[in-house]
Amino acid sequence: MKSLRSQLVFFWVLLFSVCAALAVVMLTLYRASAGAQVAAGRAATEQSCQAIAARYAKAATGAAEPKVDLLQVLLQLVLIEAPHVEGGVWQAGAGTNSGLLAYAYPTYEGSSVKRDVPAAEQPLIVELSQLAARTQAPQTDVVRGSREALIVSACPLASPAGNLVAWTMTRTNGGALAAQGSLRVGLGVLLAAVLASGLWLGLILFRGLRQVQRLETRLAEADVSGGAMPELPRTGVRELDRIVDGFNHYRLRFDEARVHLREAAQQRNRDQRLAALGRMTGGIAHEIRNPIATMRLKAENALAAAPEKQGDALRVIVGQIDRLDGLVQSLLALVQPVTLAPAKVDLHSWLAERLATIGDKALAAGVHTALQHTDPAQAVFDPVHLARAVDNLLDNAVRHAPRDGHVTLSASTNDAQMLCIRVDDDGSGVPEALQSSLFEPFATGRADGTGLGLALAREVALAHGGDLRHVALESGTRFELELPWRTS
């Protein structure tokens, strides 16, 4: 869980769960306390009622009519042992009388002995006594109020007429029921705490995420614009401001380093250009000096020779002039920007033309040529410039292949949607000392070469958005010209 949002949400859910569990425990304890007091009061009334019935059965044996003083004594004897339990005897068939013969509350905590039956509870007492007399079975009823519970039990007495019923009554301690208000307050406090904590955490989360989003937007805008690293504004959140300050300090160091790097890159480019210019100047001087020396020698010999031999010297001089002209044309093609004219090309026919162009030279050198074309059928590129590049690669391959050797021209597409044109030969390969400067002008391993063919081929590849690479094979050399493949 690496997200700050997830951690805060998890913390709030955990807090809510703890508060909910605590509320359940409080409610359970309240219910258990109130229920236990009701159960204890019920047991006390039922036991007292049954004790009155048992003692009456022993004391009134053979008596035809119940005696009120006897009943009063029995009630006093039994109920004195039952704290907070009051009771009496009810007789059925008492006419307009309430039927309440005797009453006692020996543990009444008042100024005098309580003698009157509670008027508010009389209807319930009479109703329950009637039910007990009619069924001749003990009856108990619990009436729950807002602050206390009233428990009434009725037991039939063993009278000849079966019309006597003893009843007992008690009330639960109001503390448990009175605790209902405290319970509600406690649950309300818990709910308020949960809501307050949720709002507080939500506010923290909202402020933090809003500040993070502002920072992300600022960085994204800087990335889209491609400018310098932005200076992030402070958020007011201490922890985030530490990160912001660290980023801003890093931005200053990064800008300084970028300035130094740009200066170093510019200096390196100047040095590279000077070095390349020096190498090119040396190569051009070497390539021009040799034909000039040859023409001078032939001209001096022709001046000293007989007129009939001057024609051979002139032909040699013309050949050297052609060589110089080819060198100048290659240099112009190399230094001038390559202007492409892309067109849709039938690739197989175009590759076959490239092999046909080199066919005579390959036949004279005893080299076998082959075409391997898998896909695609068509491609879009500049056929003129790319033909010059591929012709240079084929010419180099034929020159370096041994007699009875093989030169293979192939084309296919790869997974990166690039068109790959490969020229393979089974010659001796490129010397290791020459591989690092292989595509530089005038880098050649042949005495009669200019070293401009590979440089020109690579410029054409770069102009198409591709590249030219050298791949060393186990027996031979491969040049792979790669450019983006498209059909329209």
Domain edges within the chain: 4-179, 340-484
Q: Is the pLDDT of residue 230 over 90?
A: no
Query: Both tokens of residue 72?
Result: 């009063």
Q: Is the dihedral of CA 216, 222, 223, 228 positive or negative?
A: negative
Query: Both tokens of residue 98?
Result: 């309430």
Q: Is the pLDDT of residue 453 over 60?
A: yes
DSSP letters along 290-357, please?
A: HHHHHHHHHHHHHHHS-GGGHHHHHHHHHHHHHHHHHHHHHHHHHHS------EEEEHHHHHHHHHHH
Its CATH architecture, for the domain 4-179, is 2-Layer Sandwich (3.30)
Could you tell me what percent of the chain has a pLDDT over 90? Answer: 5
Residue type, 239: E
Instruction: Provide mean pLDDT across the span 70-95.
Output: 80
Question: By the 8 A CB rule, do 457 and 468 touch?
Answer: yes
Contacts of 99 (CB under 8 A, 6+ apart): 90, 91, 92, 93, 126, 129
Tens digit of each residue's pLDDT (9 = 90 or more) over 94-146: 554 458 888 888 776 665 567 678 888 888 998 998 899 888 899 999 888 76
138 cis-preceded (ω within 30 degrees of 0): no
Which of 96-100, 119-123, 206-210, 300-304 is the least confident region?
Answer: 96-100
Question: By the 8 A CB rule, do 331 and 283 touch?
Answer: no
Tens digit of each residue's pLDDT (9 = 90 or more) over 23-42: 777 666 666 566 777 888 88
pLDDT: is 44 or 60 the higher one? 44
Residue 468's pLDDT band, with cuts at 50, 70 and 90, is confident
**Containing H/E element for 117?**
none
For 358, counting Cβ atoms within 10 Å of its Cβ (0-12 exposed, 13-18 middle, 19+ buried), the class is buried
Q: Do 4-179 and 340-484 agree at the fold level?
A: no
| CATH number among 3.30.565.10, 3.90.226.10, 3.40.50.300, 3.20.20.70, domain 340-484 | 3.30.565.10
Contacts of 478 (CB under 8 A, 6+ apart): 422, 423, 424, 470, 471, 472
User: How far, CA to CA in Å, does 275 sit from each of 145, 228, 434, 443?
Assistant: 106, 32, 17, 14
Half-sphere exposure of 464 (CA within 13 A, CB side): 30
Query: Both tokens of residue 244?
Result: 């912001």
Tens digit of each residue's pLDDT (9 = 90 or more) over 368-421: 989 887 677 788 888 888 888 888 888 888 888 888 889 999 888 876 678 888
Whole-angstrom distance, CA of residue 160 vs CA of residue 64: 7
For 220, counting Cβ atoms within 10 Å of its Cβ (0-12 exposed, 13-18 middle, 19+ buried), the class is exposed
pLDDT: is 336 or 119 the higher one? 119
Whole-angstrom distance, CA of residue 93 vs CA of residue 418: 115
pLDDT at 388: 83
User: How much is the pTM?
Assistant: 0.38
